[in-house]
């Protein structure tokens, strides 16, 4: 026999480690060390990463945004104390599930908007004023925030929205009524618009 790492492995290591990770998650929350909690949930528009600070939901990310890269960015810009800890995201996951079921038209969640600033933040804050099932053009949103010439900047604000779905940038379309771009991809935008049109 040889003595190596494997000599001290056990067939149930995976189970033990996932139990220990749950314990770490609870201890981190109890000791105020869970700066960023995240989970990944399934949805009709692909898997979604949800992340929250103690203040509130800080990030919703589509699969095509690359979840690993999103976590790296959270570690750099918010705190490296990032743990997979689904419990804190339970309310957000539940409200999103209700939304996709057509049972919810607005979100009622504490938000942490610290990933945005300046004009982008101004635009993103305005997005919930576009009601469920309605749409606005980039130009109309620019007018709404009192800067009618900032059409491009409104587009950038939507493209960099840290909380898609919850801050409904999918309801902002090109001036000619075509969907335009979307942080979750065009097919996700179309799917959300038809979900809301059908309700």
Partner 1 sequence: MKQPFEKVVEQHGGTVLRVCRVILGVHDAEDAWSETFIAALRAYPDLPDDANAEAWLVTIAHRKAIDVLRSRKRQPAPFGDVPDAPTTLGVPGDGDGDLWQAVAALPDKQRQAVAYHYVAGLAYAEIAAILGGSTDAARRAAADGIKSLRKKYPGAAMEGAPS
Nearer to partner 1, 76 or 178 (CB): 76
- The CB-side HSE value for 73 (13 A sphere, CA atoms) comes to 17
8 binds partner 1 (CB under 8 A): yes
Stretch of 23-31, 52-60, 132-140, 174-182 lying at the interface with partner 1 (CB under 8 A): 23-31
**Contact in structure between 34 and 58 (CB atoms under 8 Å):** no
**Contact in structure between 28 and 36 (CB atoms under 8 Å):** no
- Binds partner 1 (CB under 8 A): choice among 1, 117, 178, 198: 1
77 binds partner 1 (CB under 8 A): no
111-170 residues near partner 1, rule: CB under 8 A? none
- The CB-side HSE value for 154 (13 A sphere, CA atoms) comes to 26
Distance between CA atoms of 82 and 71, rounded to whole angstroms? 8
- Binds partner 1 (CB under 8 A): choice among 40, 43, 66, 71: 71
Q: Residue 31 contacts by C-beta under 8 Å, 6 or more apart in sequence?
A: none
**Minimum gap (Å) between residue 24 Cβ and partner 1:** 5
**Sign of the CA dihedral 48, 53, 54, 55?**
negative
21 binds partner 1 (CB under 8 A): yes
- Binds partner 1 (CB under 8 A): choice among 40, 64, 82, 113: 82
183 binds partner 1 (CB under 8 A): no
Nearest Cα neighbor of 107 from 88, 81, 128, 127 is: 128
Distance between CA atoms of 87 and 91, rounded to whole angstroms? 8
Query: Which residue, chain included where needed, has tokens 């056990």?
Result: 10
- The CB-side HSE value for 42 (13 A sphere, CA atoms) comes to 0
**Minimum gap (Å) between residue 55 Cβ and partner 1:** 18
Q: Is 158 a catalytic residue?
A: no
Site string for partner 1, 83-112 (x = CB under 8 A): xx----------------------------
The one catalytic residue in 61, 141, 158, 169 is 169
Q: Which residues bind partner 1 (CB under 8 A)?
A: 1-5, 7-13, 16-17, 20-21, 23-24, 27-28, 31, 33, 36, 38, 71-72, 74-76, 79-84
Which residues does the annotation mark as catalytic? 169
């Amino acid at each position: 026999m040889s003595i190596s790492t494997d000599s001290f492995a056990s067939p149930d290591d995976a189970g033990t480690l996932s139990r220990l990770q749950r314990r770490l998650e609870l201890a981190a929350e109890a000791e105020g060390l869970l700066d960023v909690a995240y989970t990944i949930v399934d949805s009709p528009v692909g898997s979604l990463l949800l992340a929250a600070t103690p203040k509130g939901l800080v990030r919703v990310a589509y699969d095509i945004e690359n979840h690993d890269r999103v976590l790296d960015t959270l570690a750099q810009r918010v705190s490296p104390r990032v743990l997979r800890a689904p419990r804190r995201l339970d309310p957000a996951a539940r409200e999103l599930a209700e939304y996709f079921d057509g049972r919810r038209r607005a979100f009622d969640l504490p938000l942490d908007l610290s990933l945005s600033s300046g004009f982008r933040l101004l635009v993103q804050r305005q997005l919930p004023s576009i009601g469920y099932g309605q749409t606005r053009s980039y130009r109309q949103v620019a007018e709404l925030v009192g800067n009618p010439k900032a059409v491009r900047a409104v587009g950038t604000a939507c493209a960099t929205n840290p909380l898609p779905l919850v801050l409904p940038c999918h309801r902002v379309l090109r001036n000619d009524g075509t969907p335009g771009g979307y942080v979750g991809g065009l097919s996700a935008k179309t799917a959300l618009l038809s979900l809301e049109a059908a309700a």
